[in-house]
Chains A and B, each alone.
Chain A
Amino acid sequence: MIEAILSSYGFGALIASFAIGAVGALALRKSDTAANVWSNAFAVLGSAWGIVYALLAVTAVSAPEYIVDASAAFPLLSVSFHIDKLSAFFIFVISLIAFLCSIYGMGYVRHFYKKYNIGSLGFFYNFFIAGMLLVVSASNALVFLIAWEIMSVASYFLVVYERNDHRNVRAGFLYFVMTHIGTAFILLAFLVMYKFTGSFQFAAIAHNIASIPPFAASVVFVLALAGFGTKAGIIPLHIWLPDAHPAAPSHVSALMSGVMIKTGIYMMIKIFLDVFTDIPLWWGLTVLVLGAVSSLLGVLYALTEHDLKRLLAYHSIENIGIILLGVGSAMVFSSSGMLPLAALGIVAALFHTLNHATFKSLLFLSAGAVVSATHTRNIEEYGGLIKRMPQTAFFFLIGSMAISALPPFNGFFSEWLTFQALFGGILALPSAASWIFVLAVGALALTGGLALACFVKAVGAVFLARPRSEEARHAKESSFSMRTGMAFLALLALVFGVFSGSVSLTIGRVARDIGKFGAAELPFAVSPLEQISVQNGFASASAPAIAMMFIVAACIAALGLRAAYRKQKVVIGETWDCGTPPTSRAEITATAFSRSIIMIFKGILKPTKQTGIEYRDATARYFPKARTITLGISDIYRAYLYEPLQVALTKFSERVKTIQSGNINAYVLYIFVALLVLLVYVIL
C-alpha cells in the first residue's frame, strides 16, 4: 500500500487531482456554484492525498524518485522529481494549508458570484497549488524553473482576480515584475552552476560541487539569495509583498503568505545546505543579518499599517526574517563544523516554517471573513466585531497569540528553538561572529515584543469596543465552511504547540536528511511529557507544563476573585461622561495606539505628518471648520533604492534607444556585422 502511494502513480495522482480541478472549473465556468464546488473539492481531495503522501515520504527509508525521459526531444530537460525528506516536509506544509484553505474557499468564494468568473479562479487556484508542489519536488533546475513559472503566473492571475479595483491590477504588475527579476537571478545562478558542473540535475551538481571555484560559488550564493529572497520577501526585496498578498482573495492570500513565500526558503536550504556542503562563514552571517533586519523592520512596518491584510503581509516579512535567523545560524554552524548546532538551527527554521504557515493562514482567513462581512480593509472602520462575529474573533485571537509567540501555542516553541540556536552561537563561536548572534538575539526579542504590541492593536481595534462604521455595525458571522477551515487551523496552532516536542523530533529527522547533517546528533532531547531539553540541559521547555500552569493560574485567579467579591453586590449604573455620551469617537484608534511606538523608531520609519485646515470663510481665515491630520511613513526603499534604480535604467534605455532608428536596412546591418564578428571570432 505504502509503495503504491509513493510510486510514480501516487505522485501523478497528486498532481492530476489539481489538474482535473483546474480544467473542470474552467469547463463549468457558466455555473458559479458548480465551478466553485468542483475546483475546491478537487483541491481538497488533492491536498488530502498530499498530506498522506508527504507523511509516508517523511517516514520512508528511501526517497521516491520519478523520471520521465524526455531527453530525445529536449536534451537538457530531464523531467525528474526527487522526494527527499525536505521535499516531503514542504509537500506536507503546502498540502495541509491548501486543504484547509480550500474548505474555507467553498464558502468564501460565494461572495464573488455574479461579480467575477469563478471558473478562472478555480483554474488558477488549482494550478497555483500544483505549481508549488512541483517546485518542491523538482530535482532538475529546468523542471524547477517551469514549475516556478507555473506557480508565479498562476499567483499573478489570482492577485489581479478582483480586477475592477485598479489597486489590485497595479499590485499584480509590481508582483509580476519583481517575481521575474527574481527568476532572472535564479536562472543566472543555475547557469553558473551548469557551467562548472555540466548538469542541471541537483544531485549531479551536488556531486560535482567541488568543481565550482570559490568566487563562482559566491556569485551563485548572491544570485540565489537575491532570486529566492525576492520570492521570500526579505527586506529590501519585499516591496511587492505588502501590495500583492492583500490584493488576492483571502484564501489565496493565506496560501501566498503562509506557503508560497516558503518555497524561497526551501530553495535556500536546498542550495546553501544540501547542494553546497562546505560553505564560507560569511554566507551564513549574511543570511543571519538579513533575517534580523527583515524580522525587525517587518514588524515595525506592520505596526504602522491600518490596512488589516497589509498588516498581516508585513508580519510575513517579519516571520520570514525569523526563519532566516534559523537558516543563517545553521549555515554559520555548518561552515564552522558544528553540525549538531546546525541541525538545531534547521529544526528551528523548519518548525517556524510550519508554524507560520498555520497561524498566518488562520489570520488571513479570519481577516478575509472580517473583510467580506464589512467590505473594508481599514482597521479604523471596524470595532466591536466580537459581538457580531464571535467565532471569527476567537480564531483571530488564537492566531494572534500564536504569532505573538505566547505559550502554549506553536509560535512560542519555534521562536524558543531559534533563540536556543542563537544562544548556541554566542557560546560557541569566536567573538566577531558571536557579536552578530548577540545582535540577532536582541532583534528577535524586540521583534517578539513588537509583534505582541501589533496584535494587541489589531485585536483591540478590530474586535473590541464599539463599531466605528455602519458596515461593522451590521456585520454577520461567516459561513460554516469558512469557520471549519479556521477552526482546524486554530486547533493545529494549539496541537503543534502542545506536542512541540514530538513535532521537533520529526522535523529533526528531516534536518538529518539534508546535506552532511546525517552525521549530526540532534542537540536536544524530548521527554515522554513533551519537555524539550536543549544542549544537555542548557534550557528546557515543556508545552504541557506551561499549559497546565496557565490553567492552574486561571483557576486560582477565578477562585480568588470569586472569594473576594462573593459578598459584594453588583450595581449597574450609568458611566460618568462629563456630559458627553461615550461614542466610538472616544475610542483610541489603531493609528493612535501605534503612534507612540512609531515615534520611538522614527529614525528608521521616517514618519510623516500632514495637517490641513478648512475655514468657514476662506478669505478671512478666522474660524476653522475642520482640521485634518494625515499620518504616514516614508517609503524609503522606493525613495532611496528603487526610484534611483529606475531613473538610471530609464537613462540607459534612452541611450540604447538610439540604435532603434526605424530603418530596416540599419537593423539588417546590425545582423550582418554581428554575423561577421561571430564568424571571425569562432574561426580565430
Chain B
Amino acid sequence: MEHLFVQLLIVIMFLAAVFLHVVKKNSTAAVLYCAQSAAMATILLAASIEADSRPLLFVALATFAVKTLIAPLFFAHLIKRHQLKFSASTYLSVPLTLIAVAALTALTRSHIFAPLVALGNGREGMLSLALAMMLISLFLIVNRKGAISQMIGILSLENSIVAFAVFAGLEQAPGLQMGIMFDILVWVVVATVFTSMMYKQFGSLDVTAMQRLKE
C-alpha cells in the first residue's frame, strides 16, 4: 500500500514535469511546480516516517516550506508585478515537444540506462521515472524561451535529482540536505531579482532578448 502511494507521488511529479511543457500560462506552470514539490515533500515525509528519523522530518518540512510555499509565492509576485500572464514561446511546437519528451522517457527505459536503474533495488520503475524527469526538466530549459519557465525547469530538475537520490538510496546527511534547501531558497530570491532586472532592462522575459549583450 505504502509502495503504491509512493508510486502515485512519483507519477504526479513526472506528470507535472510533462505538463510543464504543454502549459502556456505562467501561473499554471507555478501551480504545477507547486504540486510537484508537494509530492516530493510527501515522499521525504514518508521516508522520514519509515526510517523514524526526526532530522529527515525537518528536511521534509523545510522542503515543503521552501518549494511549495515560498518559491511559488515569489513566482506569483513576479507574475503579478510585471503582468506576465503568458509564458514566452518555445522552439518546438507542442506535438514535437511531446514526441521529444516521449523519446527521452523511452531512453531512460532502454538498456543504456539499465545499470543506473538497477540501483533502485526493487524500485526500478520509480528510478526510471526520476531519470526521465531529469531529462525532461533539462529539455524544458532548452526548449522554453521564457525566463520563468526556465527557472521552474531548473527547480524541477532539482526535484528530480532529489527523487532519484531517494529511490537510489543515496540520501545525504540531513544537515547537508538542509544546506541544499537553504541554497535553493537563496537561488530563488536571486533568480527572481535577476529576472526583475532583466525585465526592466529588456522589457521582456524572453531570454533571446539578451542576445544583444553579446559582443
Give the B-binding residues of A (Cβ under 8 A). Answer: 660-665, 668-669, 671-672, 675-676, 679-680, 683-684
Contact = CB atoms under 8 A, between A and B. Distances in A.
Contacts of B112: 679-680, 683-684
Given A663-B208, A683-B113, A683-B115, A668 B141 contact: yes
B213 A662 contact: yes
B211 A665 contact: no
Nearest to B140: A668
Nearest to B113: A683
Q: From DSSP, what is the main secondary structure of chain B's interface residues?
A: helix
A683 B114 CA distance: 8
8 contacts: A661-B214, A663-B207, A663-B208, A664-B207, A664-B210, A665-B145, A679-B112, A683-B115
Given A683-B115, A683-B116, A684-B112, A662 B141 contact: no
A654 to B, nearest CB: 12
A497 B116 CA distance: 72
B211 A668 contact: no
Contacts of B141: 665, 668, 672
Nearest to A660: B214
Given A683-B112, A683-B116, A669 B142 contact: yes
A12 B207 CA distance: 54
Contacts of B214: 660-662
Contacts of A672: 135, 138-139, 141-142
Given A683-B112, A683-B116, A663 B138 contact: no
B26 to A, nearest CB: 17
Given A664-B207, A675-B138, 19 more contacts: A661-B211, A661-B214, A662-B210, A662-B211, A663-B207, A664-B150, A665-B145, A668-B138, A668-B141, A668-B142, A669-B142, A672-B141, A679-B112, A679-B113, A679-B116, A680-B112, A683-B113, A683-B114, A683-B116
B115 A663 contact: no
A663 B211 contact: yes
Q: From DSSP, what is the main secondary structure of chain A's interface residues?
A: helix
Interface residues of B, number: 22
Given A675-B138, A680-B112, A684-B112, A665 B213 contact: no
B143 interface: yes
A684 B110 CA distance: 12
Contacts of A680: 112
Interface string B182-215: 0000000000000000000000000110111110
Nearest to B91: A665
A667 to B, nearest CB: 9
Q: Which 3 A-B pairs have the closest CB atoms?
A: A662-B214, A662-B211, A664-B207
Contacts, number: 45
Interface in B111-138: 112-116, 135, 138
Contact of A665 (B116, B142, B212): B142
A125 to B, nearest CB: 39
A173 B138 CA distance: 41
Nearest to B147: A664
B78 to A, nearest CB: 18
Contacts of B210: 662, 664
Contacts of B139: 672
A674 to B, nearest CB: 11
A654 B210 CA distance: 21
Contacts of A675: 138
A665 B91 CA distance: 9
Contacts of A665: 91, 141-145, 207-208
Contacts of A664: 150, 207, 210
A36 to B, nearest CB: 44
A199 B211 CA distance: 46
A335 to B, nearest CB: 48
A672 B139 CA distance: 7
Chain B CB count within 10 A is highest, among A665, A675, A683, for A665
A658 to B, nearest CB: 12
Contacts of A662: 210-214
A675 B141 CA distance: 14
Contacts of A671: 138
Contacts of A684: 112
Contacts of A668: 138, 141-142, 150
Interface in B13-71: none
A502 B36 CA distance: 81
Nearest to B115: A683
Interface string B76-98: 00000000000000010000000
Contacts of A660: 214
A663 B144 CA distance: 12
Contacts of A683: 112-116
A28 B138 CA distance: 54
Contacts of B145: 665
Contacts of A661: 211, 214
A684 B112 CA distance: 7
A161 B169 CA distance: 57
A330 to B, nearest CB: 52
Nearest to B138: A672
A290 to B, nearest CB: 41
A572 B211 CA distance: 86
Contacts of B208: 663, 665
Contacts of B143: 665
Chain B CB count within 10 A is highest, among A660, A675, A683, for A683
A584 B44 CA distance: 92
A683 B131 CA distance: 14
Contacts of B207: 663-665
A675 B137 CA distance: 13
A671 B212 CA distance: 22
A630 to B, nearest CB: 39
Contacts of A679: 112-113, 116
Chain B CB count within 10 A is highest, among A661, A668, A683, for A668
Nearest to B107: A676
Contacts of B91: 665
Contacts of A663: 207-208, 211
A635 to B, nearest CB: 31
A632 to B, nearest CB: 37
A454 B114 CA distance: 75
A114 B79 CA distance: 57
A512 to B, nearest CB: 54
Contacts of B116: 679, 683
A208 to B, nearest CB: 32
A661 to B, nearest CB: 7
Contacts of A676: 135
A684 B111 CA distance: 10
A669 to B, nearest CB: 5
Nearest to B214: A662
Contacts of B113: 679, 683
A660 B211 CA distance: 10
A61 to B, nearest CB: 49
A661 B214 CA distance: 8
Nearest to A664: B207
Nearest to B104: A676
A197 to B, nearest CB: 31
A52 to B, nearest CB: 49
A676 B144 CA distance: 19
Nearest to A666: B142
Chain A CB count within 10 A is highest, among B207, B212, B213, for B207
Chain A CB count within 10 A is highest, among B138, B142, B207, for B142
